[in-house]
């Protein structure tokens, strides 16, 4: 049995979001072809999720200075614990699926916050004399992204997602792009259907 972590990085449902529609189609197909696997859905817009902010930065600095965790403020403790939980959740997953829209040529800020929790020195990569080296092995990932224009994977967002995953050691990264509906609104249904078909095909052997 494997564990699949599905990262939902969009505030809308599958009725209003192209990327969510393809994500849910993938998960439905995956459940049928992998009935023994555990699927964990992380909804970044519904769950309590930390961003690196003043509390986290000062809390980390205090811990590095030798202060006891119990001496931190309640807010610092809460955010750091949640940050660490996200890192461990990623490490425990065998497979990761990330779905988002392309917003202003970038990923949503909540997704960037999640990537900060999985890009952690000493846990998912380490510094060596020859530069950083990945510590994550054996995982595979799928990135689903919808955009109004067509970029064929050359946009900043999809390159960032793949680059960070590769950086921590996830080298098997597949991508599904739902592109061009804003340029060709008359083809929206066709574009979504193509994305659903590709995602379902990937799900069979993911």
- List the one residue out of 94, 110, 118 whose CA is nearest residue 39: 94
- Judged against a pLDDT cut of 80, whether residue 100 lies above it is answered with yes
pTM for the model stands at: 0.95
Confidence of residue 16 (pLDDT cuts 50, 70, 90): confident
Measured distance CA(10)–CA(144) in Å, rounded: 11
The pLDDT of 2-27, averaged and rounded, is 93
Q: What was the pLDDT predicted at 59? A: 98
Residues 120-177: pLDDT tens digits?
A: 999 999 999 999 999 998 999 999 999 999 998 899 999 999 999 999 999 999 999 9
- Percent of the chain at pLDDT exceeding 70: 100
β-strand partners of 195 = none
Q: What was the pLDDT predicted at 168? A: 98
Which residue segment(s) compose the domain that 35 sits in?
3-43+95-204
In a domain, 85, yes or no: no
In a domain, 72, yes or no: no
Confidence of residue 73 (pLDDT cuts 50, 70, 90): very high
Tokens at residue 154, please?
């050359």
Neighbours of 105 (CB within 10 A): 11
What CATH code is carried by the domain that includes residue 100?
Answer: 3.40.50.360
Residues 34-46: pLDDT tens digits?
A: 999 999 999 999 9
Q: What was the pLDDT predicted at 48? A: 87
Measured distance CA(139)–CA(161) in Å, rounded: 15
- List the one residue out of 203, 146, 151 whose CA is nearest residue 174: 203
Confidence of residue 181 (pLDDT cuts 50, 70, 90): confident
Tokens at residue 48, please?
């309590």
Write down the H helix ranges in the chain.
18-33, 54-64, 74-92, 109-118, 156-168, 188-204
Residues 6 or more apart in contact with residue 82 via CB below 8 angstroms: 48, 49, 50
Measured distance CA(120)–CA(117) in Å, rounded: 7
In a domain, 88, yes or no: no
- Judged against a pLDDT cut of 90, whether residue 32 lies above it is answered with yes
Contact 134, 169 (CB under 8 A): yes
Between the alpha carbon of residue 34 and those of residues 25, 58, 98, 137, 160, the distances in Å are 14, 43, 18, 21, 29
In a domain, 180, yes or no: yes
- Judged against a pLDDT cut of 80, whether residue 14 lies above it is answered with no
In a domain, 199, yes or no: yes
Domain count along the chain: 1
In a domain, 48, yes or no: no
In a domain, 62, yes or no: no
Between the alpha carbon of residue 160 and those of residues 27, 106, 112, 134, the distances in Å are 23, 9, 10, 16
Tokens at residue 45, please?
């817009």
Contact 126, 117 (CB under 8 A): no
What average pLDDT is seen over the chain?
Answer: 96
In a domain, 52, yes or no: no
Tokens at residue 28, please?
């439905």
């Amino acid at each position: 049995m494997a564990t699949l972590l599905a990262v939902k990085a969009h505030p809308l449902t599958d009725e209003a979001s192209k990327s969510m529609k393809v994500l849910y189609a993938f998960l439905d197909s995956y459940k049928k072809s992998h009935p023994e696997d555990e699927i964990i859905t992380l909804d970044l817009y519904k769950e309590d999720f930390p961003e690196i902010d003043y509390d986290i930065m000062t809390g980390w600095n205090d811990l590095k200075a030798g202060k006891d965790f119990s001496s931190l403020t309640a807010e610092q403790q809460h955010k750091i614990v949640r940050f660490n939980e996200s890192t461990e959740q990623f490490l425990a997953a065998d497979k990761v699926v990330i779905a988002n829209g392309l917003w202003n040529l970038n990923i949503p800020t909540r997704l960037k916050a999640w990537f900060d929790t999985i890009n952690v020195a000493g846990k998912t990569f380490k510094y060596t004399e020859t530069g950083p080296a990945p510590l994550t092995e054996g995982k595979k990932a799928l990135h689903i992204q919808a955009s109004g224009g067509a970029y064929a994977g050359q946009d900043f967002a999809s390159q960032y997602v793949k680059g960070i995953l590769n950086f921590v050691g996830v080298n098997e990264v597949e991508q599904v792009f739902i592109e061009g509906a804003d340029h060709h609104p008359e083809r929206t249904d066709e574009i979504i259907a193509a994305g659903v078909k590709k995602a379902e095909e990937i799900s069979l052997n993911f």
